[in-house]
Chains A and B, each alone.
Chain A
Amino acid sequence: MLSRTAENLFWLARYVERAENTARLLEMGYRLSLLPSSAQGPGGEWGSVLDASRTRAGFEAVHGDDVRQQTVADYLLFDRSNPSSVTNCLDRARANARVMRIALTTEMWVAINDAWHAWQQVLPSRASGGGLRDVLEWIRRQGSLFRGTTDGTLMRVDGYEFIGIGTALERADNMARLLDVKYYVLLPGGSTVGGGIDHYQWASILHAASSLRAYHWTYRSDVSPRNIADFLILNPFTPRSMHYCYRALGDRLNGLARLYGRRHDCHDQVNETLTMLSELTIDRIFAAGLHEFLDDFIGRTARLHGSIASAYHFAE
């Protein structure tokens, strides 16, 4: 397979995943904004949505300090000056797919092409007020459609693995960044936010990961910050946890090694991080510092990306 094709598939998957994660983040902000006493700090929960997506500076250049649902949703969904807006993600996903039409099945292409065409018809006014949730749900569904058509129609050769790597890498990175922004509510005793609001803050993180029920099945207890961090970082079974994403990365990279009969640095790196994640406990992470742990993880993931790019001759 051409290196450029592999790289395109990798980024195609990342953009689709990024659009979905943006929708999940907004979903979290929306839930919190419905709580009676949520409006604290600059822009309240909508501000933390900007922080989690690392877009506050860009946002302020457009909207100043006018942080509310309409402006944040506008910026994260539609604004072309925001590189990770859903509009830009879908544009770039489709551009990548279009260049690599022959590496995709017709069904995958149609899933992306239809999503792109439909998105051109979605006006920002549709995403205001309660309409936002419908729009967010629609975006999440496009991610499912892409993964579903990939799963159901694409040959299990190298292209499939590069798509899987893109999805898992993006998801792992996004989860680490989300937790990094929210880490202060997860730290035991470190929270200044009082009363019942904490519970919703925590639950909202699980909502963003579509994991509230899975969480209850796993812990059979009230939502606690320790367990949430444990679940989203170390649980090897929930498909949005950092540990799970690394398992997926390991599987996909091993798939490539089997196909090509050759292993690279990236294989060792993935194994090393996987071993670390299996041996760690959440208490040790908290003891050493959650923020430091997440920072290190984000760095590892960036290095892994670099090793994959050089192992398979990406141009970047």
Chain B
Amino acid sequence: MAGFNEMYEGDRVRDAYREIADWIRKVGVEALGRKQQEAETLFRRIGITFAVYGESGELAESERLIPFDVVPRVFTHREWRRIDSGVRQRARALNLFLGDIYRRGEIVKAGIIPAEAVYGNAAFLPAAAGFAPPRNVYSHIAGVDLVRTGPDELYVLEDNCRTPSGVSYMLENREIMMRMFPELFTRRRILPVDDYPALLRRTLASLAPASCDAEPNIVVLTPGVFNSAYYEHSFLADQMGVELVEGQDLYVDDGFVYMRTTQGPQRVDVIYRRIDDDFLDPLAFRPDSVLGVPGLFHAYRTGKVSICSAPGSGVADDKAIYTYVPDMIHFYLGEEPILANVPTWRCAEPEALAYVVDHLHELVVKEVHGSGGYGMLVGPAASAAEIEAYRARLEAAPTGFIAQPTLALSSCPTYVGNGVAPRHVDLRPFCLVGDEIRLVPGGLTRVAMTEGSLVVNSSQGGGVKDTWVLGD
């Protein structure tokens, strides 16, 4: 599948890539290869590694380096403006949706989304009902995954409303590119992304509970060093200048949350948590959780501490709910969606299921609650046996699946060892929602390093690229 190559329009180099094309020609393939190795050495030295988990959840290997590609991906200012407004629009609608379903349920009453899809959803958190978090914001960091199929065709592949990861790569990729290729940054104005941690901090500070009357004490809550995104957790805490805590560092006393410090207890006001709802509080959720803090959820419900993202936000990024986001935009904002959804069959619906079962060889089928590229079927790339096995799973529990056409994902020039060749990419911008909506011009571009592959997940061998938005 050829698809749209972002560098070319016919034989002509597109304006966005003019400098990149020049640069590749001048530098030459050999020098690029050397730079590639240099970059990897830098990443390893800084310790930007992640852990890889197998299908059954065991640690498959520790400390793999995410492949970094030295050829940046480029958006023009005009292209970015549309992404920017589309992502902001989506983040607003998703937050309004969450505020609605946990309090009034208007969208369900209006018959726009079936009650079952919301209240029967595994990610719906009954304990969060009837409570309004600060500023009515639930999803404070929304990662909206975009794919491109043509110069002006962009689709939202999925939303990540809980704790999207990857922003540290966005920042480190830029840092490494500026260090290795400073000359590239002098030729054309590339909009900076390095204020993201400051914006994140400002966003989190704006969400302090009413009970906080001083400078809010913000912390990042991590499951610990064995989590695959631990590097990112410590990176963000460091860049924001706040403490990185684990559950064992926190406790609840007299309704408030405290952290254990060398000078005794210190009150905590805002928790940017990077652990799942289930593990937040063994008293409220999974009693076997050792990662969480007993009593934390009660402190949250009584307005003594803010939790970002709010418990229960996950229902908005569920793949079954995803199909309704354009309807949410109409319903809450009265606007047309700026970014389209990928056409999606909900296998819960019998007609859709019948179509999907007959067309498995040309569709991508995903588990509604899956993530990370695990448990999905890419029809055109699958063997007959794989398709049959998947068909059996699908027919056994159709509500657990959605299907989408195999999109001809766009590709970008990528260093592949013996030259530069097109590889498929996606994009995840990170939208911050607090007292205002903030979005840095850029995001994480993930690239499928294998020729023809459409799977960009780092857990499946995908790599990353620096993502440029050109100045006006």
Contact = CB atoms under 8 A, between A and B. Distances in A.
Interface of A: 1-6, 95, 98-99, 101-102, 106, 109-110, 113-114, 117, 158, 162, 256, 260, 262, 312-313, 315
A62 B237 CA distance: 44
B323 interface: no
Contacts of B249: 2-4
20 contacts: A1-B261, A1-B262, A2-B249, A2-B260, A2-B262, A3-B249, A3-B261, A3-B262, A4-B248, A4-B260, A5-B243, A6-B262, A95-B225, A98-B47, A98-B225, A101-B235, A113-B45, A313-B260, A313-B261, A315-B248
Given A4-B248, A313-B260, A106 B225 contact: no
A225 to B, nearest CB: 42
Contacts of B235: 101
Given A95-B225, A99-B224, A99-B225, 18 more contacts: A1-B261, A1-B262, A2-B245, A2-B259, A3-B260, A4-B248, A5-B243, A6-B262, A98-B225, A101-B238, A102-B244, A106-B46, A109-B46, A109-B47, A113-B45, A162-B262, A260-B262, A262-B263
A162 B225 CA distance: 21
B399 to A, nearest CB: 41
B41 to A, nearest CB: 10
Interface of B: 44-47, 224-225, 231, 234-235, 237-238, 243-246, 248-249, 259-264
Contact of A102 (B225, B238, B263): B238
Contacts of B237: 102
A260 to B, nearest CB: 5
A2 B234 contact: no
Contacts of B259: 2
A86 B225 CA distance: 22
Contacts of B245: 2
A2 B45 contact: no
A2 B225 contact: no
Given A3-B249, A315-B248, A101 B261 contact: no
The 10 lowest CB-CB distance pairs between A and B, nearest first, are A102-B238, A312-B262, A101-B234, A3-B260, A99-B225, A6-B262, A1-B262, A102-B234, A260-B263, A2-B249
A113 B47 CA distance: 8
Given A2-B243, A95-B225, A99-B225, A158 B45 contact: no
B169 to A, nearest CB: 16
Contacts of B45: 110, 113-114
**Per DSSP, are chain B's interface residues mostly helix, strand or loop, or mixed?**
mixed
Nearest to B240: A102
A36 B170 CA distance: 63
Among B235, B248, B249, B262, which residue has the most Cβ atoms of chain A within 10 A? B262
B262 A117 contact: no
A109 B249 CA distance: 23
Contacts of B263: 1, 260, 262
A255 to B, nearest CB: 12
Nearest to A256: B262
A245 to B, nearest CB: 22
B472 to A, nearest CB: 35
Contact of A313 (B224, B246, B262): B262
Nearest to B242: A102
A83 B246 CA distance: 26
A131 B243 CA distance: 44
Contacts of B246: 4
Contacts of B261: 1-3, 313
Contacts of A2: 243, 245, 249, 259-262
Contacts of B224: 99
Nearest to B264: A313
B333 to A, nearest CB: 39
Contacts of A312: 262
A262 B263 CA distance: 9
Contacts of A114: 45
B101 to A, nearest CB: 37
A1 B262 CA distance: 6
A262 B264 CA distance: 11
A158 B243 CA distance: 14
Among B44, B245, B263, which residue has the most Cβ atoms of chain A within 10 A? B263
Among A99, A109, A262, A312, which residue has the most Cβ atoms of chain B within 10 A? A99
Contacts of B264: 313
A3 B260 CA distance: 6
A101 B49 CA distance: 13
Contacts of B238: 101-102
B240 to A, nearest CB: 10
Nearest to B46: A106
Nearest to B262: A312
A233 B46 CA distance: 41
Contacts of B231: 101
Contacts of B248: 4, 315
A272 to B, nearest CB: 23
Nearest to A159: B262
